[in-house]
Structure formats: C-alpha cells, structure tokens
C-alpha cells in the first residue's frame, strides 16, 4: 500500500534515518561555514576593501594619463623654487643669461643697500 | 536509575548557536524523518527530498541565532523545507518546459514501474488513492502509512490539526466508498 504514495521511495528503517541524519548534520555544519568567496560576497569589510583596491587601481590607470596630458609647467616650479634675491632669481629663471651690465649695476645697488 | 530527559528543541538550538555540533546532530536526528517525508511528498523523489532536507538543515545551522526560542522549532524547520521544495519544483517545471521546447519528449511512456503495477488489487487501490485530493492523500499517507501524529503533520504542512483530521476523515471515507464500489462491480 505504501507503494501507492508519494513517499514510496523513502525507506522507513532506523538504519536509513541514522545514516541520513549523520550525513545531513555533518554536511550542514561544513556547508554553513562561510568560505572566502562567501566572505567576499557578504562582509562589509570586504566591500570596503574592494572599493579601496578599485580606487587605487583606477588612480594608477588615470594618473599617468593625466601626467601625459597636463605636465606641470617647469617655469612655475622654477619661479616657486627660485631664490628670493633678484640676481639669483634672474640667473635661475631666465632662459638666457642676463646682460652683465645689469647684473653689475643691480648687484652694486643691492650691495650698497 | 532514571533516564535523562531529552533536551528541548530550544536548548538544542541555543547550543547550536554556541557552535555545539553534537547538539545540532541531536536536532537533526529528531526531525530528519518528518522533514524527509514532507520533502518527498512535495517532490515525489527521494534523492531530491534528501537534497532539500540537507539544504534546510544547513540553513538551520547557519541561521540558528535568528530563531525565536519562544516559538516552537518544527514549524520553522518545515517552512524552510516547504519553501526550498517549492523553489525546486518551480525550477524543475521550468527545465521541463524548456526540454519540451527542444525535444519531442515528455509523452507518457510505459515504465517498468507501470508494468509492475499490473495486478487488479494494486490497480484498484492505486486508482482510489490517486483520486484523492493532494492534501487528503498527503495527510492519509503520513498518519496512516507512516505513523506520524496529526500534530506532526499539521506542523509539516503548515495547517491546523483539525484540518489534518478533516482531511483524514474525508480520505478514509472516499477510499472506503471507492473500494466498496469496485468490490460490488466485480462481484
């Protein structure tokens, strides 16, 4: 009679239930422990870490392109880093050497100050 | 010497939350039979039923901390089993539809099982059983054939105990009537 029902394939003996319970319990314990992929998918820390890594990678890709397209102006740097006194500034900043007369007169003026 | 009382479900769940795998194994042993029979009723396949029960207990172990100890455990477990079985049935139905689109299979065939059910008595009983509405058949099977209590079956199928008794009463009446009619017809 049991063969006529939907559970006909399920044997009803204690040995079957014991072995099934043992198998199910141990597999459930293993299956429920999150592995690295699950951790990556579910943990907030992993999402933050992934965002930081993505930002870094993006930065590394974009930065050289930026450097190529807009290199820093050497003149600006030279102006910014040039010494404060007029003579040294003129020597460093100017592409051509200053006339010697101007250096002498300006230098003499500055020295006389 | 008195026997030690069986630990309550709530105590076993609390121990499971603390990572006590032995307590979880006791819980599995306690409900493996009813959970498997329920899944088998819903899926009509032993292997699929075992898979669903496996998945269900994995969820129970992983989400044990979310279980409300003020409520009974069986309805929670059986609701998980039912949900997973329904999902699997829907998936199988989709696959079968796709298969039908690509092949001309799906027509009923004469299986060895069909050939085996060839004697008149089995045929008669089979007709009577399969004429029952699904829930009547499910309740009758679990209580009469598998010896579960009406309370167990109520929890398994998510219905009230009185509804289970009603299904049982109607199933028995229908089976008696059907078998009697058949007997009368065949003298």
Q: DSSP readout, B13-33?
A: HHHHHTT-HHHHHHHHHHHHH
Across chain B, which has 187 residues, the per-10-residue mean pLDDT values are: 75 93 95 95 90 95 91 94 93 79 52 40 76 90 89 93 93 83 64
Using CA coordinates, name the residue in chain B closest to A22.
Answer: B25
The pLDDT value recorded for residue A21 is 95
- Angle formed by the axes of helices B73-102 and B46-62, to 10°? 130
CB distance B28–A28 less than 8 Å?
yes
| Distance separating alpha carbons of residues A7 and B143, to the nearest angstrom | 12
The whole-number pLDDT of residue A98 equals 74
Report the b/e string of A26-54 with b at 16+ CB within 10 A: eebbebbeeeeeeeeeeeeeeeeeeeeee
Instruction: Quick: pLDDT tens for A46-60.
Output: 788 888 888 888 888
Chain length of chain A: 113
> Residue B125's pLDDT is what?
75
Q: Which of A1, A6, A25 lies at the smallest CB-CB distance from B28?
A: A25
CA-CA distances (angstroms) from residue A86 to A100, B89, B170? 14, 88, 111
- What integer is the mean pLDDT of A52-75? 74
Are the beta carbons of B17 and B25 closer than 8 angstroms? no
Q: Do A4 and B29 touch (CB under 8 A)?
A: no
SS3 category, B105: coil
Does the interface ipTM go beyond 0.90?
no
Instruction: Check if A25 contacts B (Cβ < 8 Å).
Output: yes
CB B13 within 8 A of CB B27: yes
- In B28-87, the residues whose Cβ lies within 8 Å of chain A are 28-29, 32-33, 36-37, 40-41, 44-46, 49-50, 53-54, 57-62
- pTM for this entry: 0.61
């Amino acid at each position: 009679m049991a063969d006529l029902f939907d559970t006909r394939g399920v044997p009803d003996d204690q040995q079957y239930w014991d072995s099934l319970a043992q198998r199910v319990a141990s597999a459930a314990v293993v299956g429920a422990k999150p592995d690295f992929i699950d951790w990556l998918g579910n943990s907030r820390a992993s999402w933050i870490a992934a965002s930081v890594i993505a930002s870094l990678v993006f930065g590394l890709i974009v930065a050289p392109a930026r450097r190529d397209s807009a290199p820093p102006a050497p003149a600006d740097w030279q102006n910014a880093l040039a010494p404060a006194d007029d003579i040294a500034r003129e020597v460093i900043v100017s592409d051509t050497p200053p006339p010697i007369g101007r250096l002498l007169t300006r230098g003499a003026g500055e020295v006389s100050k | 010497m008195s026997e030690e009382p069986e630990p309550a479900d709530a105590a076993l769940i609390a121990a499971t939350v603390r990572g006590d795998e032995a307590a979880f194994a006791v819980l599995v042993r306690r409900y493996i039979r009813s959970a498997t029979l329920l899944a088998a009723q819903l899926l009509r396949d032993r292997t699929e039923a075992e898979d669903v029960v496996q998945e269900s207990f994995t969820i129970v172990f992983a989400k044990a901390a979310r279980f409300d100890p003020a409520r009974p455990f069986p309805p929670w477990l059986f609701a998980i089993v039912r949900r997973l079985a329904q999902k699997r049935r829907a998936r199988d139905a989709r696959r079968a539809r796709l298969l039908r689109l690509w092949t001309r299979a799906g027509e009923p065939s004469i299986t060895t099982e069909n050939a085996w059910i060839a004697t008149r008595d089995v045929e008669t009983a089979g007709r009577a059983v399969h004429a029952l509405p699904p829930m009547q058949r499910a309740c009758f099977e679990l209580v009469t054939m598998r010896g579960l209590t009406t309370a167990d079956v109520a929890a398994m199928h998510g219905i009230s105990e009185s509804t289970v008794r009603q299904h049982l009463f109607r199933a028995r009446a229908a089976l008696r009537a059907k078998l009697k009619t058949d007997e009368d017809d065949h003298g």
